[in-house]
Amino acid sequence: MNPFGFLRVAAATPLVRVADCAFNVEHILALLRRAESEHVNVIVFPELAITGYTCADLFHQPLLQRGAALALEQLAKDSAAVFSGLAVVGLPLAVEDMLFNCAAVLHRGKLLGIVPKSFLPNYKEFYEVRWFAPAIKANCRELVIAGQTVPFGTDRLFAAEDCEGLIVGVEICEDLWVPVPPSSMQALAGATVLVNLSASNETIGKATYRRQLVLSQSGRCMAAYIYTSCGIGESTTDIVYGGHCLIAENGILLAESRRFLREDALLVADVDLERLRIDRQRTNSFLDVHLYPTPSFLSQGRRGARSTFTLGEQPVLPDLRRPIEAHPFVPQGQEQLRDRCEEIFHIQVAGLAKRLEYLGVPPVAIGVSGGLDSTLALLVACKTMDTLGASRQRIQAFTLPGFGTSNRTRDNARALMRQLGVTAREVDIRPLCLEEMRALGHRPFGIDLTGLGVEELTERLYRLPPEKRHDLVFENVQARMRTSLLMNSGFVIGTGDVSEAALGWSTYNGDHMSMYNPNCSIPKTLVKFLVEWAARNEFEGEVRRTLLDIVDTLISPELLPVGADGQPAQATEVTIGPYEVLDFFLFHFLRYGAPPEKILFLAERAPFQRSYSTRELRGWLKEFIRRFFASQFKRSCVPDGPKVGTISLSPRGDWRMPSDAQAALWLRWAESEGN
């Protein structure tokens, strides 16, 4: 097992000769050897893999039945020397004058259990009732096979004693296609890894539906789901098999095989058991077993009946067989990204429209800086007024240039307000801020304000060397002055995003506050894509050009004095780290509760837009944790706003945290690394 709860699993599709048990076992063993070389811990083979699924009336031949039993005995003996993990393989077994379609669970030569199929298809091309008995007809709880006394039944889980959270549940093909699959009960009894041995043939569109089933069941059960199906060797008479294999985790597809391969196939992926267990803990309705009719599976208590095994010491693997999204908030495909942006935009508009309708559609005020966040909020406000049938002139858009405003953002703010047809206002806040700093007796950057006018102060600020441009009061006075002007102008629409809220990258009761914030649960990386989506899909001409220029503008609070060239002296991502990395940290910390060591482990392997050293990632992660804990007091009093995704920091909804919680436990990892 990999560190941080990762478990390597595999779905195998061996070449098959129908009714040739010796040939089939040979190829199963070959795949077991291959799986061992790739450090697989759990591997699943197709339904009736030892005999082949399409034996039809040959299943009632005693010779084939004995051949299957002997082949299982040989497989158990030979696999002990070639595979150290858990293997699940299908075969027919005759028990008390009934034939069952079974899954045998093997570990190092020991048979841990035999699980019979519960639901037998007998429609269209399927005739299983002709040959097999359903599991419910079984009269015994144990079998003697391969010289071992083996548990027999559907109410059995397989738990690793030395791998926390690894509990395997087994179902067979049609079991997944029924309204309440056995795997649902297995998950309720604790199974985190569900396996399905299948023989699903190929027809038009069936692969898509099969994929949906697997993804849906893995999500419903909050489990990993390993699905394997027999390959082309089973194709006969009127039906064709493609060897479709799938590995899913809580509704996410980790790996999928190519179909119709003419060779042994092994699909490998790493599932995250720790993530699954955290999700189950959070979803407190998951284990409300008392609300279900009590099946035999749970008759022995919530744990069910369990066979145990030991994986043994596992090597720490340098690779990770699962996709790691560098930008987890941003869908990868263009069509999916377009759909996501459109949906989010409509959620934002719907939320703001409801609030404004309730208040009688009052005039609204919004600060427009020429940056990403205020641009998105302004676009939402315009679309909201359009939706409500109100004039965009009811939007009082203020651009409020201060000592740090750059030429580019000021020009873009002016252009955007004009192009969108809102009521545009421009207020130079420098004189107001100068008077407030005088009233406070503040000397910005050590400058005596006595007798200084705005332009003279601005000129002196231009000449400040970069190393002296640090003055929190100077920054806060500007931020709060802007908010004061907006608050006295009408119903204020906020602009801050969830990335800034996580890091405390706002001025308390400054840009931190508004009367409704449509951006409040959108991360910075997604804000950028939303503005670009709006530019390319909702606007054209001059508006599109302005929006695309804003997308390409340096992210900066623009509160410190600009240089003589009019360029901003602050670059947010230089100070706190790249937003693509910070949003990655935020997603894994908040969505999955991942510890810092695991977040760093994943970040080191994520395909970011540019390469970052481990030292850089570690430093930014340490700063992220420090800022996140230190900034909770700001998040404890934020305005309403719509939740649009899985991450939100609203104190009324997704995140409740004491403002004085200590970060020591989360920072201890950094100390152990010499940081």
pLDDT in tens, 238-259: 899 999 999 999 999 999 999 9
pLDDT in tens, 410-431: 999 999 999 999 999 999 999 9
pLDDT in tens, 575-633: 999 999 999 999 999 999 999 999 999 999 999 999 999 999 999 999 999 999 999 99
Round the average pLDDT of the chain to a whole number and report it: 93
Q: Could you list the active site residues?
A: 47, 117, 173
pLDDT of residue 112: 98
pLDDT of residue 290: 59
Whether 13 contacts 229, CB under 8 Å: yes
Dist. CA 652–CA 8, nearest whole Å: 39
| In 493-589, beta strands by DSSP E | none
Those residues with Cβ within 8 angstroms of residue 544's Cβ, 6 or more apart along the chain or in another chain: 535, 536
Mean pLDDT, to the nearest integer, of 326-334? Answer: 90
Q: How far is CA 87 from CA 165, 182, 239, 316, 585, in A?
A: 18, 19, 28, 21, 36
Whether 147 contacts 93, CB under 8 Å: no
pLDDT in tens, 54-77: 999 999 999 999 999 999 999 999
Those residues with Cβ within 8 angstroms of residue 526's Cβ, 6 or more apart along the chain or in another chain: 329, 330, 344, 583
pLDDT of 235 over the 90 cut: no
Structure tokens given for 373? 């966040």
pLDDT of residue 466: 74
Q: How many CB atoms sit inside 10 A of residue 56's CB?
A: 15
Q: What is the largest CA-CA distance in the chain?
A: 108
pLDDT of 559 over the 80 cut: yes
**Sheet containing 98-107: which strands, arranged edge to edge?**
110-116, 98-107, 86-95, 42-44, 6-13, 265-272
pLDDT of residue 295: 52
Mean pLDDT, to the nearest integer, of 360-368? Answer: 98
Q: 299: pLDDT confidence band, cut at 50, 70 and 90?
A: low
pLDDT of 292 over the 80 cut: no
pLDDT in tens, 152-175: 999 999 999 999 999 999 999 999
pLDDT of residue 2: 66
pLDDT in tens, 75-126: 999 999 999 999 999 999 999 999 999 999 999 999 999 999 999 999 998 9
Structure pTM? 0.92
Whole-number percent of the chain with pLDDT over 70: 96
pLDDT of 364 over the 80 cut: yes
Cβ neighbourhood burial of 390 (10 Å; 0-12, 13-18, 19+): middle
Mean pLDDT, to the nearest integer, of 650-671? Answer: 91
User: Considering only CA atoms, which of 305, 226, 197 is closest in space to residue 7?
Assistant: 226
Whether 348 contacts 642, CB under 8 Å: yes
pLDDT of 660 over the 70 cut: yes
pLDDT of 315 over the 90 cut: no
pLDDT of 469 over the 90 cut: no
DSSP letter for 660, please.
T
Partners of residue 10 on adjacent β-strands = 43, 268
pLDDT of residue 567: 76
Report all structural domains of the chain as residue ranges with CATH numbers, in order of start.
Answer: 3-282 (3.60.110.10), 334-672 (3.40.50.620)
